[in-house]
Amino acid sequence: MKKIYRGYIVALSLLLILSVTVLPAYAVDDMWTVAKKIIVDVYAKIVSISTVLAGLMSAIAVIGAKMANNQAKNDQAWDWLKRIWLAWAVINGIGAFIAYIAPLFNGLATLEP
């Protein structure tokens, strides 16, 4: 009787393990669609924050340039303003590059033969 009980427990354990590993995952979208949504959402937030910060820092740099009492501080404030605009252009340029270049690569990154 002990062998039958042990066989019964082993059979039920295997059935439980098999049922857990075989269940399909019901995902709404595939991994690439979800990743694209996340990247677009995060990048949109980065762009909006960088735009607000660029505007604020530009205002501070212009005020610093106008209130400078010597030419060196004035030049330094205008250099900072140039750096702020360049950084903002690079951040937004990455998004524009991805938006216009990524559709050209559609269908190239597939796992199917």
88 is written with which tokens? 């903002």
Q: Does the reported pTM lie above 0.85?
A: no
Ranges of each domain in the chain: 27-105
68 is written with which tokens? 């400078």
pLDDT tens readout for residues 53-75 = 999 999 999 999 999 889 998 99
Q: How far apart are CA 53 and CA 84, in angstroms?
A: 9
The mean predicted confidence, pLDDT, of the chain is 84
